[in-house]
């Protein structure tokens, strides 16, 4: 049996979550500090969450496809994007980003502004405030965002199949493998990948709730 969808799914989800983590937190921090255009920036970053993933994939295809300036430029440089593993990662990042961004932003907003102000008047640099005060005190929300983003990336289908395709051994993930198996009338295989996805997603969500419960318990001690 071909196990590559399993490895490709894990690899794609891991790499995309790593990227989403930094991009999501960075965007949350930047948007919160924006004086104007906050609502618009917020809406744009959140859009992939509410749009059908196929539409997200379609736009990615437009931006990076052969016919676009960027796509043809990258192709000339010898960096094809569409229907490669990179495209699968990009699709997963875009789709899971709103989850990371929104939970991180919510966590940052919960922070008592006076604590950050106190650090400023004590002479602590903005960089240190971010890493040593804002981030550690927002860890619950950020952790939750991380797990949500990862599980979203695990199950990503629509944008992936539009933008990265369903090439066995390269871009075929567990979720696209389910689709391919059903198309080929192989219900046993479809069952197998579907079951694997359910087990995985459940495992990470349970892990998150246990983790968060333990962290919030340990906070007072």
Partner 1 sequence: MRLEVSLQKRLRDFTLSVDFVAEDEVFALLGASGCGKSMTLRCIAGLEQPDAGRIVLDGRVLFDSKAGINLSPQERRIGYLFQNYALFPNMTVAENIVFALEGTKEEKKRILAENIARFHLEGLEKAYPAALSGGQQQRVAFARILATGAKLLLLDEPFSALDSHLKWQLELMVMDVLSSLGGAAILVSHARSEAYRMAERIAVMERGTLLTVAGKKEVFRHPATLSGALLTGCKNVSAVTREGEALTAADWGLTLELEGTAVPEDLRYVGIRAHDLSLVEGPGRNTFEMEVVRAIEDVFSYRILLRPIGSGAKPLLWEAAKDVWREASARPRLFIHVPLDRLLWLGR
120 binds partner 1 (CB under 8 A): yes
> Which tokens go with 117?
């102000």
The residue range among 120-128, 142-150, 163-171, 183-191 that interacts with partner 1, by the rule CB under 8 A, is 120-128
33 binds partner 1 (CB under 8 A): no
For residues 166-180, one letter each, b for 16 or more C-beta atoms within 10 angstroms of the residue's C-beta and e for the rest, the string is beeeebbbbbbbbbb
Q: Which of 1, 76, 136, 185 binds partner 1 (CB under 8 A)?
A: 136
Asked if 161 and 179 count as a contact pair (C-beta separation under 8 A), the reply is: yes
214 binds partner 1 (CB under 8 A): no
Which one, 63 or 135, has the nearer CB to partner 1?
135
Asked if 56 and 97 count as a contact pair (C-beta separation under 8 A), the reply is: no
> Which tokens go with 106?
């919510």
Spatial distance between the Cα atoms of 91 and 33, rounded to a whole number of angstroms: 27
220 binds partner 1 (CB under 8 A): yes
216 binds partner 1 (CB under 8 A): no
Q: Which of 1, 3, 50, 122 binds partner 1 (CB under 8 A)?
A: 122
Interface with partner 1 in residues 89-118 (CB under 8 A): 112, 114-115, 117-118
Query: Shortest approach of partner 1 to residue 127 CB, angstroms?
Result: 11
Query: Shortest approach of partner 1 to residue 215 CB, angstroms?
Result: 11
Which residue in 14, 178, 2 sits closest to 89, CA to CA?
Answer: 14
Which one, 93 or 134, has the nearer CB to partner 1?
134
The angle subtended at Cα 164 by Cα 160 and Cα 169, nearest 5°, is 105
77 binds partner 1 (CB under 8 A): no
Which one, 132 or 214, has the nearer CB to partner 1?
132
Specify the length of the chain in residues. Answer: 221
Residues near 133 by beta carbon (within 8 Å), at least 6 away in sequence: 115, 116, 119, 124
133 binds partner 1 (CB under 8 A): yes
Residues that bind partner 1 (CB under 8 A): 112, 114-115, 117-125, 132-133, 136-137, 219-221
């Amino acid at each position: 049996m071909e196990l590559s969808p399993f490895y490709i799914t894990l690899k794609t989800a891991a790499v995309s979550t790593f990227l989403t983590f930094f991009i999501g937190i960075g965007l949350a921090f930047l948007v919160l500090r924006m004086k104007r255009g906050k609502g618009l920036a917020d809406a744009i970053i959140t859009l992939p969450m509410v749009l059908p993933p196929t539409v997200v994939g379609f736009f990615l295809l437009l931006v990076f496809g052969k016919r676009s300036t960027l796509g043809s430029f990258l192709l000339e440089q010898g960096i094809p994007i569409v229907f490669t593993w990179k495209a699968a990662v990009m699709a997963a990042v875009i789709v899971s980003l709103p989850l990371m961004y929104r939970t991180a932003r919510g966590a940052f907003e919960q922070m008592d502004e006076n604590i950050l102000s106190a650090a400023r008047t004590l002479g602590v640099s903005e960089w240190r405030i971010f890493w040593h005060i804002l981030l550690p005190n927002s860890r619950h929300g950020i952790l939750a965002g991380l797990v949500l983003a990862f599980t979203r990336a695990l199950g990503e289908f629509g944008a992936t199949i539009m933008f990265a395709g369903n090439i066995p051994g390269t871009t075929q993930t567990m979720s696209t493998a389910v689709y391919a198996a059903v198309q080929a009338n192989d219900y046993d295989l479809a069952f197998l990948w579907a079951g694997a996805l359910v087990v995985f997603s459940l495992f990470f969500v349970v892990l998150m709730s246990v983790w968060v419960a333990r962290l919030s318990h340990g906070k007072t001690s």
